C-alpha cells in the first residue's frame, strides 16, 4: 500500500527520524519528523493496524483516492506505508497545528469573527472541492483544520482514518467508548435514510460555533446526551443576545448550516457565496493575528496534555461513583460517526443526569417549535419518539429540553443499529461548556436551500454494514456478578441500586423505559423484574419477587418518587396477595437464619443453655409458616429434647458419682479406724 507524491518520499521507516509528538487522535499519534534523504520536515501519523479493521485493501483504496486529491486547502499525504503493525502516513508538517490546539492554548473563548471568517472560508473551499469530486469528508471540526507557518489553512484527516475505522473499532481503540458526537448531523445519528455531503455542512456549522466559543456545543456531555440533544432540541446556534460580538451574517451562516433537514441545508458551493465570507481575509492576516507569538507546536502539545491529565484527575475525584465512565470522555468532543448502540446504552445506563446544566438551549418554546417545524429526517425519528410519550404526559426537562434518561431508549429505538456502526469517528479535547450560548433566533431568515441537494449524487457513501459485535465498554464485571450497580429510573432521577444480575444486560434499565406509561405503574418497571405491585416511599415490590423459587428476585429496590404523593393505582387483592406472600417468604427465611445464629452464638460463646432454650422456645412459639420451617422447628425440638435427656443423664451420673464418692469416703474412714 503506498502513494508516492511527486517528491518521491521514501517508503521505509528508517528514512525518517521521528521527533516530538505534536498530536494525538483516537486512532493515531502524530509526530514531527525529518525525511532524511530529502531533508524535509514532515508530520507522520502513526496508526496501529492491530486496533483497526485490518481491511488493508480498503485502506489501500482509500490511500489511492487520497493521492488523487489535489487542492491547496486539503492536506494531502506525501505517502504511506506499513511498518510492523503500524501504518505510517507521511504528510506535510503544519507547524502551527490545529485550530483546536491554538484555541486551547491561546484563545479559550474562541476567535474573533474576521479570523473565523478567514478560517471557515478556506475550509469551505476544501469542502467544495471534495464534494465536487464526490467525497464526503465526514470529520470537519477545528481539530482537523491545520495551519502552517505561512498561515495557509488545510482541512486534514480525510481518508485513511475514515476507512480504517469504518466498522466501528475506532472508538474502542482505547478500550472505552469515547467522546461526544458533537459534530454529527442528526441524519447521521439516525441513519434512517442514509446521509450525504450535507452532513459535512452540519459539521461545518458546528465547527463555526466551535471556533466562536472555543468548544463545540454540548461538548461537555456524554455521547448519549449529545445524541438526544441533537435529535430532540432545536439546532444549536449563536444567540442574538449573548453572542452580541458576532454579526448578523455570521449568525445567519450558522443558522443556515444547522438545519435538521439536510435538504434544507445549502450545498457547500452555495454556502461559499454567503455574505459572511466577505469578511474573510488572507493567510497573512492569520499569521499576524492568531499565529503571532505562539509557542512551538510540540511545546503547546505537551502543555495541553499535562492540562488534560490534570483535568482528568480532578474529574475522576469528582465522579468516582460513576463507575467506569471515563471522565476524560466527558471533556472530550468527538465527531464520532461511528456508534455502537450497546456501548451507548451501557454508558447511558450509568449516567446520573442531575445537575447537568443546560447549554445552548434555554428556550423550550422555541425548541418545541423547531422540533415540530423542522420536519426533516431527524423529525421523522422524533415522531416515533414523541408517539412514545403521547400517553406519558411528556414534559421536557426545563434544563435540557428532554426528559432525561427515560427518554433515551425511546429515542434510540429509532436508531437502526448496524448503519450506526458503519460510520467513523474522531476526537477533540474540549473543556467545560457551562455558560454557553442559547438557540438562534428562529425567526431569522437563514437562507435555506429549499431546492435541496445540488451536489453530486455520487458522493453518497457506500455504507459498510458489518456484523453487529457486542462490546462492553461499561462495567467489566463478569456475568452474574453480585452487587453490581443498576440504575433504576423513576421520574427524572436515577438511583444506583444493588442487584444480582442474572443476565449481563447493560441496556436493561433503558429497555423497559420504552414501555413507560405513567398511568399504569405496572408497566413502568422492567418486565424482567415483574410489575410493580407495591410502592412505599422509595421502595417497590415487584411481582417477580414472588417467584415460586423463592425470593431470589425479591427486590425492595429504591425507586424515585414523591413519597408525599401516594401512587395513583388501585390495589386489587390479586396484586396485594403476592406481595404479602413475598414478605412472608422473606420472613420465614429470616427466622431460619435467626435460629441458626442463636445456635451458633450459643455454641461459640458457651451461652447459658437455659436462656438460649428459653429464647428458642420463644421463637418456636411462633407458628411455622412453611414446610421447611416446620421441618427445622421439629429438628430444633428434637435437639432440645436430646439436650434435656443428656442433661438429665448427666445429673444422674453426677448423683451416682456423688454416691460412689460417699461410699469410698466411708470405706476409707473405716480403714483408718
Ligand atoms: N500534518 C500535521 N502537521 C501538524 N500537526 C498535525 C498534522 N496532522 C495532525 N496533526 C495534529 O495531530 C492531531 C491529531 O491528529 P489526528 O488526525 O490523529 O487526530 P484527530 O483528527 O484530532 O482525531 P481522530 O484520530 O479522532 O480523528 C491534530 O489535531 C493536529 O493537532
Can you tell me the mean pLDDT for 175-204? 76
Please give the distance of CA 577 from its chain centroid, rounded to a whole number.
41
Give the residue, by CA position, lying nearest to ligand 1 atom 6: 97
- Minimum-distance ligand 1 atom for the alpha carbon of 93: 3
Instruction: State the ipTM, two decimals.
Output: 0.97
Averaged pLDDT of the chain: 64
User: What is the model's pLDDT at position 555?
Assistant: 35
Ligand 1 center from residue 259 Cα (angstroms)? 28
Q: What is the pLDDT of residues 186-196, one digit of tens each?
A: 888 877 777 88
**Nearest residue CA, atom 20 of ligand 1?**
25
Rg (Cα) of the chain, in Å, rounded? Answer: 34
Higher pLDDT, 475 or 284: 284
Determine whether 139 is an active site residue. Answer: yes
Smallest CA separation from ligand 1 atom 29, residue:
143
Nearest to 366 by CA among 262, 261, 437, 438: 438
pTM over 0.95: no
Pick the catalytic residue: 15, 48, 55, 139?
139
Q: Determine the Cα–Cα distance for residues 350 and 335; give it in Å rounded to an integer.
A: 22
Longest dimension (CA), the chain: 139
Position of cell 422555541?
366
Q: Give, for 327, the enclosing helix (H) or strand (E).
A: helix 327-330
- Which of 355, 633, 613, 381 lies closest to 494, judged by CA? 355
Atom of ligand 1 nearest to the CA of 336: 26
Report percent pLDDT > 90 for the chain.
27
Confidence of residue 572 (pLDDT cuts 50, 70, 90): low
Read off the pLDDT band of 647 (50, 70, 90): confident
Pocket of ligand 1 (CB under 6 A): 22-28, 30, 43, 45, 91, 93-94, 97-98, 101, 139, 143-144, 146, 156-157, 161, 426-428
Q: DSSP label at 14?
A: G
Give the pLDDT of residue 524. Answer: 31
From residue 588, give the alpha-carbon distance in Å to each of 218, 547, 552, 555, 603. Answer: 53, 15, 14, 16, 23
For ligand 1, atom 28, name the residue with the nearest CA. Answer: 23
Distance of CA 475 to the CA centre of its chain: 12
Contact indicator for 513, 351 with CB cutoff of 8 Å: no
Q: What is the enclosing helix (H) or strand (E) of 387?
A: helix 377-388
Inter-residue contact 508 to 405 (CB < 8 Å): no
pLDDT above 50: residue 114: yes
432-445 residue pLDDT tens? 333 333 333 333 33
Please report which confidence band the pLDDT of residue 63 belongs to, taking 50, 70 and 90 as the band edges: low
Bigger pLDDT: 581 vs 440: 581
Q: For residue 48, report the distance from its CA to the centre of ligand 1, in Å.
A: 15
User: Which residue would you say has higher pLDDT here, 665 or 544?
Assistant: 665
pLDDT at 582: 58
Residue 307 Cα to ligand 1 midpoint, Å, equals 18
Residue 235 pLDDT grade (very low, low, confident, very high; cuts 50, 70, 90)? very high
Residue 617 CA to ligand 1 centre (angstroms)? 78
Write down the pLDDT at residue 448.
34
Confidence bin at 488 (pLDDT 50/70/90): very low
Per-residue pLDDT tens over the stretch 82-105: 898 898 989 999 999 999 999 999
24: CA distance to ligand 1 center in Å?
Answer: 6
DSSP bridge partners of 145:
155
Residue nearest (by alpha carbon) to ligand 1 atom 4: 94
Select from 90, 157, 299, 430 the residue to mutate for testing ligand 1; criterion: most ligand atoms less than 8 Å from CB.
Answer: 157
Amino acid at each position: 500500500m503506498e502513494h508516492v507524491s511527486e517528491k518521491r518520499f521514501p517508503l521505509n521507516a528508517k528514512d525518517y527520524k521521528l521527533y516530538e509528538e505534536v498530536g494525538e487522535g483516537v486512532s493515531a499519534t502524530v509526530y514531527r519528523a525529518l525525511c532524511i534523504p530529502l531533508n524535509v520536515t514532515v508530520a507522520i501519523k502513526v496508526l496501529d493496524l492491530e486496533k483497526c479493521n485490518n481491511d488493508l485493501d480498503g485502506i489501500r483504496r482509500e490511500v489511492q483516492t487520497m493521492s488523487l486529491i489535489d487542492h491547496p486547502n486539503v492536506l494531502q499525504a506525501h505517502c504511506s506505508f506499513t511498518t510492523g503493525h503500524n501504518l505510517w502516513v507521511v504528510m506535510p508538517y503544519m507547524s502551527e497545528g490545529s485550530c483546536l490546539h491554538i484555541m486551547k492554548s491561546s484563545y479559550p473563548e474562541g476567535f474573533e469573527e474576521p479570523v473565523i471568517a478567514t478560517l471557515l472560508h478556506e475550509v469551505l473551499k476544501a469542502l467544495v472541492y471534495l464534494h465536487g469530486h464526490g467525497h464526503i469528508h465526514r470529520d470537519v471540526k477545528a481539530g482537523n483544520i491545520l495551519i502552517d507557518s505561512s498561515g495557509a489553512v488545510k482541512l486534514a484527516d480525510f481518508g485513511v482514518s475514515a476507512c480504517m475505522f469504518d466498522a466501528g473499532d475506532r472508538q474502542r481503540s482505547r478500550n472505552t467508548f469515547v467522546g461526544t458526537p458533537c459534530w454529527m448531523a442528526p441524519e447521521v445519528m439516525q441513519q434512517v435514510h442514509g446521509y450525504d455531503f450535507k452532513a459535512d455542512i452540519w459539521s461545518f456549522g458546528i465547527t463555526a460555533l466551535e471556533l466562536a466559543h472555543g468548544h463545540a456545543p454540548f461538548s461537555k456531555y456524554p455521547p448519549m446526551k449529545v445524541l438526544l440533544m441533537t435529535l430532540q432540541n432545536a439546532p444549536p446556534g449563536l444567540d442574538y443576545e449573548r453572542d452580541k460580538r458576532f454579526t448578523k451574517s455570521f449568525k445567519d451562516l450558522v443558522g443556515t448550516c444547522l438545519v435538521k433537514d439536510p435538504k434544507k441545508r445549502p450545498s457547500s458551493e452555495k454556502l461559499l457565496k454567503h455574505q459572511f465570507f466577505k469578511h474573510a481575509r488572507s493567510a497573512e492576516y492569520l499569521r499576524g493575528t492568531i499565529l503571532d507569538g505562539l509557542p512551538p507546536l510540540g511545546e503547546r502539545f505537551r502543555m495541553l496534555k499535562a492540562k488534560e491529565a490534570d483535568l482528568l484527575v480532578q474529574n475522576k475525584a469528582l465522579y468516582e461513583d460513576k463507575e467506569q465512565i471515563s471522565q476524560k470522555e466527558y471533556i472530550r468532543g468527538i465527531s464520532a460517526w461511528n456508534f455502537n448502540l450497546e456501548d451507548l446504552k451501557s454508558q447511558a445506563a450509568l449516567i446520573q443526569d442531575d445537575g447537568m446544566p443546560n447549554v445552548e438551549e434555554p428556550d423550550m418554546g422555541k425548541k418545541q417549535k423547531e422540533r415540530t417545524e423542522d420536519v426533516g429526517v431527524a423529525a421523522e425519528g422524533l415522531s416515533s419518539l414523541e408517539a412514545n410519550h403521547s400517553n406519558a404526559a411528556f414534559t421536557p426537562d426545563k434544563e435540557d429540553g428532554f426528559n432525561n434518561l427515560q427518554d433515551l431508549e425511546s429515542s434510540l429505538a429509532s436508531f437502526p443499529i448496524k448503519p450506526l456502526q458503519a460510520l467513523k469517528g474522531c476526537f477533540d479535547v474540549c473543556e467545560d461548556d457551562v455558560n454557553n450560548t442559547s438557540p438562534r433566533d428562529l425567526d431569522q431568515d437563514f437562507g435555506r436551500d429549499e431546492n435541496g441537494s445540488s451536489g453530486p449524487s455520487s458522493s453518497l457513501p457506500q455504507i459498510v454494514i458489518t456484523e453487529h459485535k457486542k462490546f462492553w465498554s461499561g462495567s467489566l464485571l463478569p456475568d452474574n456478578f453480585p452487587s453490581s450497580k443498576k440504575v433504576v429510573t423513576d421520574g427524572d432521577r436515577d438511583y444506583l441500586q444493588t442487584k444480582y444480575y442474572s443476565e449481563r444486560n447493560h441496556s436493561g434499565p433503558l429497555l423497559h423505559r420504552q414501555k413507560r406509561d405513567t398511568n399504569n405503574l405496572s408497566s413502568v418497571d422492567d418486565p424482567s423484574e415483574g410489575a410493580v405491585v407495591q410502592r412505599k416511599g422509595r421502595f417497590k415490590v415487584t411481582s417477580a419477587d414472588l417467584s415460586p423459587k423463592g425470593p431470589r428476585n425479591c427486590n425492595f429496590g429504591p425507586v424515585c418518587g414523591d413519597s408525599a404523593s401516594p401512587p395513583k393505582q388501585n390495589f386489587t387483592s390479586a396484586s396485594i396477595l403476592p406481595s404479602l406472600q413475598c414478605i412472608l417468604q422473606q420472613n420465614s427465611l429470616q427466622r431460619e437464619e435467626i435460629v441458626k445464629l442463636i445456635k451458633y452464638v450459643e455454641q461459640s460463646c458457651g451461652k447459658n443453655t437455659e436462656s438460649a432454650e428459653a429464647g428458642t422456645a420463644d421463637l418456636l412459639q411462633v407458628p411455622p409458616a412453611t414446610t421447611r420451617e416446620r421441618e427445622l422447628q421439629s429438628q430444633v425440638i428434637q435437639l432440645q429434647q436430646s439436650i434435656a435427656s443428656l442433661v438429665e443423664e448427666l445429673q444422674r451420673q453426677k448423683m451416682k458419682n456423688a454416691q460412689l464418692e460417699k461410699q469410698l469416703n466411708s470405706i476409707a474412714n473405716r480403714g483408718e479406724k
